[in-house]
């Protein structure tokens, strides 16, 4: 069956020193603790190697927040999937709405990035989600379905390695979370879209995380929904205690 996962997305926050300290705190808090989910922290590229050195890979998975769609070569400033993998990372966030919105990442590019991540043995955490206007004009189910369908040229074997994160853009960093029912409706819809293409077994085994103002205070209600398999956490992942509070929502 699919895994429960709580993943942190640190975004462009923390210096190297602060990031290593935060990772170290999370690692210490998890030591000897009973937990009913996998934990992943996705950190800036500059932090990957140093964070990898202070976390126990049995307790915490390590992820990047993006990678290039190209294999290697003359792409100044870019970071390849192979480079990410070589730091010890296991995961990579792809298609975050901030990448789509501010850096113009499109479906074609995101498919290529996903393929590169998979070729190099990284687990993509593939983000989808509608903007406020699409929520209000009622097109959100179609919008999110088409973002998921951008991956449908992948083989069933490859698709089954992907984690999906549903992050309604209007709920990110706004303090305005989707209700547990809104999240459940969309997660069930995404699972149906996957089932229509890849069949029930793959759909049932795909972890679908919720992201957007998820906090210790609302995580339990969200995670109690049958199709919500955990969270992708922004702001609350930058504090070890509050990140732990979200992890403990699965206990």
Q: How far is the CB of 157 from ligand 13P (least distance, A)?
A: 27
Contact between 9 and ligand 13P by CB under 6 A: the answer reads: yes
Contact between 57 and ligand 13P by CB under 6 A: the answer reads: no
> Is residue 167 annotated as a catalytic residue, yes or no?
yes
Contact between 212 and ligand 13P by CB under 6 A: the answer reads: yes
Range 167-196, binding ligand 13P (CB under 6 A): 167, 172-173
Of 47, 85, 91, 96, the residue at the interface with ligand 13P (CB under 6 A) is 96
Site size for ligand 13P, by CB under 6 A?
14
> Which residue lies nearer to ligand 13P by CB, 129 or 198?
129
Of 69, 235, 248, 249, the residue at the interface with ligand 13P (CB under 6 A) is 235
Which residue is at the shortest CB distance from ligand 13P? 234
Span interacting with ligand 13P, options 67-75, 111-119, 191-199, 207-215, rule CB under 6 A? 207-215
Q: Which candidate in 47, 91, 96, 120 is catalytic? A: 96
> Is residue 47 annotated as a catalytic residue, yes or no?
no
> Which residue lies nearer to ligand 13P by CB, 84 or 198?
84
> Which residue lies nearer to ligand 13P by CB, 41 or 198?
41
Q: Which candidate in 69, 130, 167, 248 is catalytic? A: 167
Query: What is the C-alpha to C-alpha distance for residues 97 and 118, in angstroms, rounded to an integer?
Result: 21
Contact between 234 and ligand 13P by CB under 6 A: the answer reads: yes
Q: How far is the CB of 239 from ligand 13P (least distance, A)?
A: 11
- Quote the Cα angle for 150-154-159, to 5°: 95
Structure tokens at 245: 């509070």
| DSSP string for the chain | -PPPEEEEE--S---HHHHHHHHHHHHHHHTT---SSEEEEE--GGGHHHHHHHS-TTT-EEEES---SS-SSS-TT---HHHHHHTT--EEEES-HHHHHHH---HHHHHHHHHHHHHTT-EEEEEE---HHHHHTT-HHHHHHHHHHTTTTS-HHHHTTPEEEE--GGGTTSS-PPPHHHHHHHHHHHHHHHHHHH-HHHHHH--EEEESS--HHHHHHHHTSTT--EEEESGGGGSHHHHHHHHGGG-
Known catalytic residues are 96, 167
Which residues of this chain interact with ligand 13P, rule CB under 6 A?
Answer: 9, 96, 167, 172-173, 211-214, 232-236
């Amino acid at each position: 069956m699919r895994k429960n996962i709580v993943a942190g997305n640190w975004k462009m926050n923390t210096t190297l020193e602060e990031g290593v300290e935060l990772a170290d705190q999370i690692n210490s808090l998890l030591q000897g603790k009973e937990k009913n989910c996998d934990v992943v922290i996705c950190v800036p590229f500059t932090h990957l190697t140093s964070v990898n050195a202070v976390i126990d890979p049995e307790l915490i998975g390590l992820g990047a927040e993006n990678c290039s769609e190209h294999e290697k070569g003359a792409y100044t400033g870019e970071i390849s999937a192979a480079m990410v993998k070589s730091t010890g990372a296991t995961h990579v966030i792809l298609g975050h709405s901030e990448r789509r919105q501010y850096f113009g990442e499109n479906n074609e590019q995101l498919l290529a990035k996903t393929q590169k991540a998979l070729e190099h043995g990284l687990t993509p955490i593939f983000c989808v989600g509608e903007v406020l206007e699409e929520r209000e004009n009622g097109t959100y189910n179609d919008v999110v379905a088409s973002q998921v369908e951008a991956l449908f040229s992948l083989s069933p074997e490859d698709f089954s390695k992907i984690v999906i994160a549903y992050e309604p853009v209007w709920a990110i960093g706004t303090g305005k979370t989707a209700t547990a029912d809104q999240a459940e409706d969309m997660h069930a819809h995404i699972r149906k879209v996957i089932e229509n293409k890849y069949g029930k077994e793959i759909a049932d085994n795909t972890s679908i995380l919720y992201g957007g103002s998820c906090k210790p205070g609302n995580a339990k209600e969200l995670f109690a929904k049958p199709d919500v398999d955990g969270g992708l956490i922004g702001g609350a992942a930058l504090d070890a205690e509050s990140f732990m509070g979200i992890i403990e929502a699965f206990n």
